[in-house]
Structure 1
Amino acid sequence: YYILAYNKRHRELIINSYLKHVFNAAKAIEVKNRRRKLFTNMPTRDHDSFSSRKRAWSSVVFEHPASFDTLAMDHDKKAEILEDLDFFKNGKDYYAKIGKTWKRGYLLYGPPGTGKSTLIAAIAKHMDYDVYDLELTAVKSNTELRKLLIDTSSKSIIVIEDIDCSLDLTAERKNKKREEDAPDGGEKQKIPRMDYSERDESKVTLSGLLNFIDGLWSSCGEERLIIFTTNHIEKLDPALIRTGRMDKHIEMSYCTYEGFTVLAKNFLNLEDHSLLDEVKKLIENERVEVTPADVAERLMPRTRHEKDSRTPCLEKAIEFMKKAKEEKMKKEKDGDPQESTVDDDGLTASSEGGD
């Protein structure tokens, strides 16, 4: 340990200013040197303690390589998101001034494969926050959901992916509306509901989730981001995504030309090529809809020749986009709704799966 000696007349300066600075600097160094973690709500036993207490969250070291530099997204959209994040990170005094809990909600929506999960990883890296991946179907009640919230730390991101698939959060409202719309005369038809005691599934309600986001208990920590992802924004209850709960809605679109050039730079170290003009024409003029995940799959070199030449990878990506265009035109001509485009490798231009 160290001994700090000082002149008596400097006592106030040392105690009120210098020591406070030392403690804050030590805390900053600790935060800088710590390793980010990814948590999941799969309970484990804490074997390091004598009580073997059951923990709400288990974790692993989170070292995802994604960053905003490698994200296949338009520059302007990246800059907008980064500006919003930086304002939030430095906004402690501002949030205290306006009387709001220091937290912010993001809704990421768009087709599968457009980079929603990758964006979350990039946000975590930029902010240096831990990530709590909340699996709603594993939460048995609103009370348990509240306990999970209490056990999260500040400077963290709480993520609920594919929230439209996690729970039927609008079932209660639908049943109530059906009862209210029942024809007059006689006793209204009762809508049968399954007895919760007879099923082993989550009892989390829409009300419980709303309280989790911005109720009184949501203020038990600070400097938190809450992120929802969905492939179908139209399926979500408006109360869940209104401003004040999900403050910023970010559409994750199909691959743009600017996004394609980022991927070409990432995978092939390519900034200029004659084939890029054809790529630009397909994406911007002919409105071909392919996801960044599909483009990345084609741009990834499989052999040393492809890595050195780079042209074969671009040709594979262009060929895939042409197939996606033809498939889309065929379905539009037949009058069928657009479905997934499948190539010879069994990969799709769009699908109904996760991100």
Structure 2
Amino acid sequence: MEPDLKRKIMKDLDRFVARREFYKKVGKAWKRGYLLYGPPGTGKSSLIAAMANHLKFDVFDLESIRSDSHLKSVVLSTTNRSILVIEDIDCSVHNKDNRFTLSGLLNFMDGLWSSCGDERVIVFTTNHKDRLDPVLLRPGRMDVHIHMSYCTPSAFRILASNYLGIQDFDSHRLKGEIVGLLESTKVTPADICEDFLKENDDDVDVDDDDDVDAALERVVKFLKLRKLEGANNVDETETQEEEKAGNGPESE
């Protein structure tokens, strides 16, 4: 995660916990809603765990909720100082398969149910923010929207330090090439972690400069391959769009 974003989230969480008297004074339920959105593998679930560790809160996963009545009973059974999590919210709110409805969710977020208990953080995740009903996105329901994006150079520095023991990535000879590839390629932190784990499975010695160099060279190859795959996907999409518009080979 970008350091500035990390600091903003920690500051917001700390401010929320410290404002008990303010919430009591204005007559609002002492709760805060977060929406984490972005592609799969960008760290949404990991961020929830980090938030819980930072606040020392319990976590209640509401993924197995079957209906509105089940949602209500589960919420009433949760404790104070809790993080309530609904992942993939765009897939959960519908009337099929006995999942809860939009009206049930709204009652959970800001109706009478929300007044049961104090010091609650409610976290929703989605890969597709654009699919959410606008009524869910307003302040008071999802107060803070956090975009979890693809791997950035600053995130790579942290991962390289954690997985390969590289403390001074900026001085490495491959730094410029890797940064350029990261800025032009859609690759998630999870992708990078998995690649590092593969190298560690090959008995990479993080204290050996030659092994670290070899690991980073393989990362460069991985990023180049991912960039090429992305370019091929774009070309294929453009060709399909041209054919649909009557400008492709079939129309000739």
TM-score (norm 2): 0.86
What pairs up with 1:281-296 in 2 under 5 angstroms? 281-284=180-183, 287-296=184-193
* Secondary structure, aligned partner of 2:204: helix
Query: Greater CA deviation, 262-271 or 104-113?
Result: 262-271
Distance 1:124 1:255 in 2: 23
Query: Offset of 1:306 from its aligned partner?
Result: 4.5
What residue is the counterpart of 1:319 in the other structure?
Answer: 221
Question: Size of the alignment, in residue pairs?
Answer: 231
Cα shift readout 1:42-61 (whole Å, capped 9, x = no counterpart): xxxxxxxxxxxxxxxxxxxx
Return the letter of the residue paired with 1:228. Answer: F
Is the CA contact (8 Å cut-off) linking 2:93 and 2:102 kept in structure 1? Answer: no
Distance 1:332 1:229 in 2: 27
- Cα distance 1:324–1:220, how it changes in 2: closer, same or farther (>3 A)? same
Distance 1:117 1:203 in 2: 21
Match of 2:75 among 127, 140, 149: 149
Cα shift readout 1:249-271 (whole Å, capped 9, x = no counterpart): 00000001000001001111112
- The structure where helix makes up a greater share of residues is 2
Match of 1:139 among 41, 50, 66: 66
What pairs up with 1:173-252 in 2 under 5 angstroms? 201-202=97-98, 204-252=100-148
Cα shift readout 1:58-115 (whole Å, capped 9, x = no counterpart): xxxxxxxxxxxxxxx1110101111101101111112122221110000000000000
Match of 2:204 among 295, 305, 309: 305
Query: Are residues 1:280 and 2:179 paired?
Result: yes
What pairs up with 1:92-131 in 2 under 5 angstroms? 92-131=20-59
Distance 2:236 2:205 in 1: 38
Distance 1:269 1:292 in 2: 17
Is the CA contact (8 Å cut-off) linking 2:93 and 2:99 kept in structure 1? Answer: no
Distance 2:99 2:213 in 1: 54
Is the CA contact (8 Å cut-off) linking 2:33 and 2:142 kept in structure 1? Answer: yes
Distance 2:86 2:173 in 1: 42
Is the CA contact (8 Å cut-off) linking 2:88 and 2:124 kept in structure 1? Answer: yes
What residue is the counterpart of 1:37 in the other structure?
Answer: none
Return the letter of the residue paired with 2:75. Answer: L
* Secondary structure, aligned partner of 2:201: coil
Q: Which runs of 5+ in 1 are unaligned?
A: 1-72, 170-198, 338-355
Query: Are residues 1:158 and 2:84 paired?
Result: yes
Return the letter of the residue paired with 1:332. Answer: V
Query: Greater CA deviation, 125-134 or 307-316?
Result: 307-316
- Cα distance 1:203–1:304, how it changes in 2: closer, same or farther (>3 A)? closer
Query: Greater CA deviation, 308-317 or 259-268?
Result: 308-317
Distance 1:233 1:211 in 2: 21
Query: Offset of 1:203 from its aligned partner?
Result: 5.3
Distance 1:335 1:305 in 2: 39
Q: CA RMSD in A?
A: 1.7
Distance 2:173 2:26 in 1: 53
Is the CA contact (8 Å cut-off) linking 1:306 and 1:313 kept in structure 2? Answer: no
Is the CA contact (8 Å cut-off) linking 1:290 and 1:324 kept in structure 2? Answer: yes
Is the CA contact (8 Å cut-off) linking 1:103 and 1:226 kept in structure 2? Answer: yes
Query: Offset of 1:204 from its aligned partner?
Result: 2.2
Distance 1:312 1:212 in 2: 52
Return the letter of the residue paired with 1:216. Answer: L
Largest Rg, 1 or 2: 1
Distance 1:312 1:236 in 2: 44
Is the CA contact (8 Å cut-off) linking 2:187 and 2:226 kept in structure 1? Answer: yes
Q: Which runs of 5+ in 2 are unaligned?
A: 240-252
* Secondary structure, aligned partner of 1:94: helix
Is the CA contact (8 Å cut-off) linking 1:299 and 1:316 kept in structure 2? Answer: no
Query: Offset of 1:335 from its aligned partner?
Result: 3.3
